[in-house]
């Protein structure tokens, strides 16, 4: 273009600006266009060229500002001036009625109205304007602070870069709203991607959120995001209601969804909800419910907030329909009691705003009832519960050759043949003594507060110790100090692992990609996977490789690793579990020199629980140069401090008295109180073991069932050996002198309960006290009680029951007097 005169340029710039703004308005507000994309781009290019000739003519709010072009390497974070809260959710009319009652009660009258609006399913954004100019746009983040995405938000054509009406405009204001990708734009993008053989974007919301976090704003501009605003925050505004604020925002040029309505009462709200249930499908934006807010600001203030959500607003969510997914494989979970629960791994589908990848199948009957076949297309539904369920198989979509699901017959954790008792729905692993989750259950009881009280051995740490074979029974805990060196480097977290139905170990794709690259952070990988959430596994890897090749962080090594992994995944014959890959594949990629074939590595990874486990127990050599990558693949590991802390806890537990030790053994039907009773009676474990049935039955409080449990426990050599080893380690299997000594027999034969807060005793102390005076403590109110010690704030229902049963209630003082030996 020849350089036009300044005057010509000025005129043309005004005309072009007007025309472009008009076409933008048609496109975004009216969802139509009268010129082609190409023609539109030409207008824009002409404008940009003119502005380049005369930079001083470029206005801050010129449409050329929205084409993007700046690259944001890392998003800075900014703190929100006012915390960005979320809303309470409801799914039913009853809950809405309860909300309305709370509002009426909070205000003390019914003189209020609701402002109703649809709940847009996009990404929340906060936009800050200073002197009318957009200076910052920040994502919701954790509510306190979010990412600064100003450059990307500027490409959204319905977001004013500058508010024209300067009069009465507060110098500083914040507008909040929801950024979304219109459904039509979403479909267009996917059509193009499909024709290019690229993977499809999951849903408009994910696409919007991914787009907003793109580093190149020019690419963002092409995605044509849109934004509805729903909240205005500013001081000194002469506004008193939400609907006035919305109208003001509209006048200032913001995009406001025209769907809002004031409702005078709950019936009108319910009518609004019903009206939009189907009609919302015709809106340009995905919506998932209705938001209702008390319209009057003063009333909002009066109602205030709870810790996280306002008391003056709530979201009603439309119930999710069901969605179709493909059954990829089934994983079998083993519980603490040995019960097996099958879980379906599904191709990811979005349902009620979340992505569903797994569904519970409960037991073998459920699989039979559904007549589930390999690779079936199934319908998943998400009810009130968190775990979705499969409601039916879409049999028309079944592949003719597909086989019915064959239920496993061995335990995926320990390989033992499973059992199923007559009339029981669940299968069980009978290997109580050796199956890791079952062992874990018992050890957890052993170390629990009321037993050996080793609080440095939390579930995660114990699980690591049990799964990796360091602890098989309680006595092993006391040998841990000798194995200190081996423990260093042991993996703790296990949510990065899973096993398939044959017991082969899988590791999360996230960790795998992390290990196969250099200088890429876990967070970056997480974001990448989130963005491509619904792509197939091999597509994810292919895309990752592709993206990785374009960054400066790739190395020949990482490229080779990723390509090799991709090859293996494409040929994968093992079960597919979304977001997990067989550990053996990753090792084959990272350790080609280890001399082990994929088949060898697979064998090594069977029934193992972690990489550490596999390497130590599989005798795998990890060459020095691969150590870094292998460490990246591992979960977090035991460090010196943790180990020291565990050892101290274990050492400390040696001083627990006999009744606690007896309780810790986990003999069926021996609860805390029975343990005390038996310990006091027999004084040591040998006496208990050798007691005849008759001796046992003579004790007040011991019945046939308990006798049977005691007998079965001591009948097992294994248990006797555990006790023997624990004794050797110094645990107390007999009462201390002072415990044997009875204070008095003033309470002999009395059954007593204490309820409410006592002044002289803590919970456990009162029990000891009663017993040291020859009485027995009882846990519940029953007619067998001799009396109840009534503390402060005794529960009214307990009290009523006691009175009805005619049990005497005495005060703590009276009780103390009763026991006094003076
Ligand atoms: S009002 C105090 N109105 O829903 C909270 N929020 O769960 C005020 N959202 O983070 C929020 N449409 O991103 C409001 N019409 C609407 C909305 C809406 C979508 C989102 C918003 C918020 C989330 C709360």
SS3 annotation, 236-302: CCCCCEHHHHHHHHHHCCCCCCCCCEEECCHHHHHHHHHHHHHHHHHCCCCEEEEEEEECEHHHHHH
In order of 288, 303, 356, the CA distances from 90 in angstroms are 12, 19, 20
Summary mean pLDDT of the chain: 88
Counting beta carbons within 10 angstroms of the beta carbon of residue 752, is it exposed (0 to 12), middle (13 to 18) or buried (19 or more)?
buried
- CB proximity list for 453: less than 8 A, separation 6 or greater: 447, 653, 656, 660
Contact status, residue 533 vs residue 509, Cβ threshold 8 Å: no
Helix or strand holding residue 508 (H, E): strand 505-508
Distance from residue 87's CA to the centre of ligand 1 (Å): 7
Helix or strand or coil: residue 210? helix
Contact status, residue 81 vs residue 146, Cβ threshold 8 Å: no
Residue from 85, 86, 118, 121 whose mutation best tests the ligand 1 pocket (most atoms within 8 A of CB):
86
Q: According to the model, what pLDDT value does residue 473 have? A: 94
Q: pLDDT digits over 486-545, tens only?
A: 888 788 866 789 999 889 999 999 999 999 999 888 888 988 888 888 788 888 998 899
Q: According to the model, what pLDDT value does residue 385 have? A: 55
Assigned token pair, 527: 């974001």
Distance from residue 76's CA to the centre of ligand 1 (Å): 24
Contact status, residue 692 vs residue 769, Cβ threshold 8 Å: no
* Residue with more model confidence, 315 or 620: 315
Distance from residue 309's CA to the centre of ligand 1 (Å): 11
For ligand 1, atom 21: residue with the closest CA = 124
Q: According to the model, what pLDDT value does residue 114 have? A: 98
Domains of the chain, residue spans: 6-67, 78-95+107-265+280-305, 436-489+640-651, 497-633, 654-740, 751-819
DSSP string, 317-355: EPPP--EEEEEEEEEEEE-TTSBEEEEEEEEEEEETTEE
Ligand 1: does its nearest atom lie under 6 Å from the Cβ of 230?
yes
Decide which of 1.10.260.40, 3.40.50.720, 3.60.15.10, 1.10.150.20 is the CATH code for 436-489+640-651.
1.10.150.20
- Whole-angstrom distance, CA of residue 610 vs CA of residue 604: 11
Q: According to the model, what pLDDT value does residue 494 have? A: 62
Q: According to the model, what pLDDT value does residue 383 have? A: 61
Q: Residue-wise over 400-410: b if at least 16 C-beta within 10 A, else e?
A: eeeeebebbeb
- Whole-angstrom distance, CA of residue 212 vs CA of residue 205: 11
Q: According to the model, what pLDDT value does residue 625 have? A: 85
Ligand 1: does its nearest atom lie under 6 Å from the Cβ of 276?
no
Q: pLDDT digits over 88-119, tens only?
A: 888 788 899 999 999 999 999 999 999 999 99
**Parallel, antiparallel, or unpaired for β 389-393 and 377-381?**
antiparallel
Closest approach atom of ligand 1 to CA 309 = 2
Closest approach atom of ligand 1 to CA 87 = 7
Residue from 144, 315, 318 whose mutation best tests the ligand 1 pocket (most atoms within 8 A of CB):
315
Quickly state the pLDDT bin for 738 (edges 50, 70, 90).
low
Distance from residue 97's CA to the centre of ligand 1 (Å): 20
> Nearest Cα to 769, choosing from 814, 706, 819, 701?
819
Contact status, residue 726 vs residue 760, Cβ threshold 8 Å: no
* Residue with more model confidence, 450 or 736: 450
In order of 6, 395, 401, 451, 574, the CA distances from 378 in angstroms are 66, 8, 17, 46, 21
Quickly state the pLDDT bin for 741 (edges 50, 70, 90).
low
Least confidently predicted of 175-189, 379-393, 525-539, 706-720: 379-393
Counting beta carbons within 10 angstroms of the beta carbon of residue 181, is it exposed (0 to 12), middle (13 to 18) or buried (19 or more)?
buried
For ligand 1, atom 6: residue with the closest CA = 119
Quickly state the pLDDT bin for 739 (edges 50, 70, 90).
low
Helix or strand or coil: residue 172? strand
Distance from residue 258's CA to the centre of ligand 1 (Å): 16
> Nearest Cα to 621, choosing from 640, 604, 645?
604
- Whole-angstrom distance, CA of residue 208 vs CA of residue 202: 10
Considering the domain delimited by 654-740, tell me its CATH architecture.
Answer: Orthogonal Bundle (1.10)
In order of 121, 149, 158, 204, the CA distances from 209 in angstroms are 11, 11, 17, 9
Contact status, residue 146 vs residue 324, Cβ threshold 8 Å: no
Q: According to the model, what pLDDT value does residue 1 have? A: 59
**Parallel, antiparallel, or unpaired for β 776-777 and 787-790?**
unpaired
Least confidently predicted of 186-200, 401-415, 557-571, 592-606: 186-200
Contact status, residue 767 vs residue 805, Cβ threshold 8 Å: no
Angle at 446 between CA 441 and CA 447, to 5 degrees: 105
Q: According to the model, what pLDDT value does residue 227 have? A: 96
Name the one residue in this structure whose structure tokens are 């876990």. Answer: 522
Q: According to the model, what pLDDT value does residue 321 have? A: 65
Q: What are phi and psi of 162, to 5 degrees?
A: -145, 135
Percentage of the chain with pLDDT > 90? 49
Ligand 1: does its nearest atom lie under 6 Å from the Cβ of 87?
yes
Most confident range, picked from 247-261, 316-330, 567-581, 628-642: 247-261
For ligand 1, atom 22: residue with the closest CA = 86
Mean pLDDT of 602-606: 91
Quickly state the pLDDT bin for 281 (edges 50, 70, 90).
confident
Name residue 179's beta-bridge partners.
123, 227
Residue from 226, 230, 285 whose mutation best tests the ligand 1 pocket (most atoms within 8 A of CB):
230
**What are the counts of helices (DSSP H) followed by strands (DSSP E) for the chain?**
34, 23
Assigned token pair, 541: 């890897």
Contact status, residue 80 vs residue 231, Cβ threshold 8 Å: no
Q: Is the pLDDT of residue 384 over 70?
A: no
Q: According to the model, what pLDDT value does residue 31 have? A: 67
Q: According to the model, what pLDDT value does residue 7 have? A: 92
Q: pLDDT digits over 399-440, tens only?
A: 888 899 999 999 999 999 999 988 888 999 999 888 989 999
- Whole-angstrom distance, CA of residue 195 vs CA of residue 192: 5
Decide which of 3.30.70.560, 2.40.10.10, 3.40.50.1970, 3.40.50.10190 is the CATH code for 751-819.
3.40.50.10190
Ligand 1: does its nearest atom lie under 6 Å from the Cβ of 117?
yes
Closest approach atom of ligand 1 to CA 315 = 7
Assigned token pair, 393: 């198989």
> Nearest Cα to 579, choosing from 507, 493, 660, 636?
507
Mean pLDDT of 707-727: 94
Distance from residue 291's CA to the centre of ligand 1 (Å): 7
Ligand 1: does its nearest atom lie under 6 Å from the Cβ of 124?
yes
Q: According to the model, what pLDDT value does residue 431 have? A: 92
- Whole-angstrom distance, CA of residue 579 vs CA of residue 329: 13
Distance from residue 86's CA to the centre of ligand 1 (Å): 7
- What SS3 string covers 396-421? HHCCCCCCECCCCCECCCCCCECECC
Task: Enumerate the active-site residues.
Answer: 119
> Nearest Cα to 650, choosing from 815, 443, 820, 469?
443
Q: Is the pLDDT of residue 575 over 60?
A: yes
CATH number given to 78-95+107-265+280-305: 3.30.470.30
Identical fold for domains 436-489+640-651 and 654-740, yes or no, is: yes
* Residue with more model confidence, 87 or 550: 87
Angle at 671 between CA 666 and CA 672, to 5 degrees: 110
Ligand 1: does its nearest atom lie under 6 Å from the Cβ of 213?
no
Q: pLDDT digits over 192-226, tens only?
A: 877 877 766 767 888 898 889 888 888 888 888 99
- Whole-angstrom distance, CA of residue 462 vs CA of residue 522: 26
User: Can you name the CATH fold of 6-67?
Assistant: Helix Hairpins (1.10.287)
């Amino acid at each position: 273009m020849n350089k036009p005169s300044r005057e010509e340029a000025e005129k043309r710039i005004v005309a072009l600006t007007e025309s472009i703004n008009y076409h933008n308005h048609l496109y975004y507000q009216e969802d139509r266009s009268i010129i082609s994309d190409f023609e539109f781009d030409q207008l824009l290019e002409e404008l940009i060229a003119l502005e380049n000739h005369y930079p001083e003519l470029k206005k801050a709010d010129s449409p050329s500002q929205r084409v993007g072009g700046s690259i944001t390497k890392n998003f800075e974070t900014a703190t929100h001036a006012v915390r960005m809260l979320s809303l309470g959710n409801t799914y039913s009319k009853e809950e809405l009625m309860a909300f309305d009652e709370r509002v009426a009660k909070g205000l003390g009258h019914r003189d209020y109205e609701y402002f109703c609006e649809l709940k847009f399913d996009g990404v929340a954004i906060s936009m800050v304007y200073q002197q009318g100019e957009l200076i910052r746009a920040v994502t919701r983040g954790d509510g306190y602070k979010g990412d600064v995405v100003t450059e990307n938000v500027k490409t959204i054509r319905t977001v004013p870069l500058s508010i024209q009406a300067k009069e009465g405009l507060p110098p500083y204001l914040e507008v909040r709203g929801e950024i979304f990708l219109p459904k039509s734009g979403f479909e267009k993008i996917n059509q193009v991607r499909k024709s290019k053989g690229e993977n499809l974007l999951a849903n408009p919301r994910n696409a919007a959120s991914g787009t907003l976090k793109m580093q190149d704003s020019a690419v963002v501009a092409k995605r044509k995001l849109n934004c509805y605003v729903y909240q205005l925050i500013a001081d000194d505004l002469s506004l008193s209601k939400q609907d006035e604020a919305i109208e003001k925002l509209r006048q200032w040029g913001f995009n406001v969804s025209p769907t809002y309505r004031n409702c005078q009462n709950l019936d009108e709200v319910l009518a609004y909800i019903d009206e939009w249930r189907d009609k919302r499908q015709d809106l340009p934006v995905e919506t998932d419910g209705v938001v209702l807010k008390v319209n009057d600001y003063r009333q909002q203030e009066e109602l205030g907030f709870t810790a996280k959500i306002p008391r003056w607003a709530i979201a009603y969510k439309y119930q999710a329909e069901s969605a179709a997914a493909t059954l990829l494989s089934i994983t079998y979970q083993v519980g603490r009691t040995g019960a097996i629960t099958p879980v379906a791994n599904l191709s990811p589908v979005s349902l009620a705003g979340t992505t569903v990848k797994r569904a519970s199948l409960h037991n073998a009957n459920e699989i039979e009832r559904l007549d589930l076949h390999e690779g079936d297309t199934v319908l998943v539904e998400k009810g009130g519960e968190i775990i979705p369920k499969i409601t039916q198989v879409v049999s028309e979509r079944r592949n003719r050759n597909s086989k019915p699901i064959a239920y496993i017959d061995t335990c995926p954790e320990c390989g033992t043949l499973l059992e199923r008792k007559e009339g029981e729905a669940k299968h069980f692993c009978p290997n109580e003594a050796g199956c890791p989750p079952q062992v874990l259950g018992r050890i957890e009881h052993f170390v629990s507060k009321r037993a050996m009280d080793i609080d440095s051995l939390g579930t995660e740490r114990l699980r690591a110790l049990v799964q990796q074979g360091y602890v098989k029974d309680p006595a092993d805990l006391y040998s841990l100090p000798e194995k200190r060196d081996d423990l260093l480097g042991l993996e703790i977290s296990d949510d990065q692992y899973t096993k398939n139905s044959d017991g082969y170990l899988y590791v999360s794709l996230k960790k795998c990609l992390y290990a196969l690259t250099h200088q890429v952070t876990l967070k970056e990988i997480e974001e990448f996977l989130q963005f491509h959430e619904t792509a197939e596994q091999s597509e994810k890897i292919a895309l990752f490789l592709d993206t990785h090749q374009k960054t400066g962080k790739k190395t020949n090594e990482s490229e080779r690793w990723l390509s090799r992994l991709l090859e293996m995944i494409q040929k994968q014959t093992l079960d597919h579990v979304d977001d997990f890959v067989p550990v053996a594949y990753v090792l084959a990629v990272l350790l080609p020199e280890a001399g082990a074939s994929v088949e060898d590595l697979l064998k090594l990874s069977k029934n193992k629980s972690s990489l550490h486990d596999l390497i130590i127990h599989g005798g795998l050599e990890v060459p020095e140069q691969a150590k870094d990558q292998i460490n990246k693949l591992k979960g977090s590991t035991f460090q010196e401090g943790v180990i020291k802390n565990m050892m101290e806890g274990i050492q400390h537990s040696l001083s627990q008295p006999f009744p606690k030790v007896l309780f810790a053994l986990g003999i069926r039907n021996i609860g805390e109180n029975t343990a005390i009773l038996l310990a006091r009676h027999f004084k040591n474990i040998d006496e208990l073991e050798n007691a005849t049935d008759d001796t046992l039955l003579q004790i007040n409080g011991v019945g046939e069932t308990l006798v049977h449990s005691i007998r079965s426990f001591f009948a097992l050599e294994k248990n006797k050996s555990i006790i023997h080893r624990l004794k050797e380690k110094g645990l107390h299997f007999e009462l201390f002198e002072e415990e044997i000594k009875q204070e008095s027999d003033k309470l002999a034969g009395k059954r007593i309960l204490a309820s409410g807060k006592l002044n002289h005793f803590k919970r456990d102390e009162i029990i000891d006290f009663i017993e040291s005076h020859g009485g027995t403590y009882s846990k519940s109110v029953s007619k067998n009680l001799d009396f109840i010690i009534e503390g402060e704030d005794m529960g009214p229902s307990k009290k009523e029951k006691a009175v009805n049963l005619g049990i005497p209630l005495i005060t703590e003082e009276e009780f103390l007097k009763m026991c006094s030996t003076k």
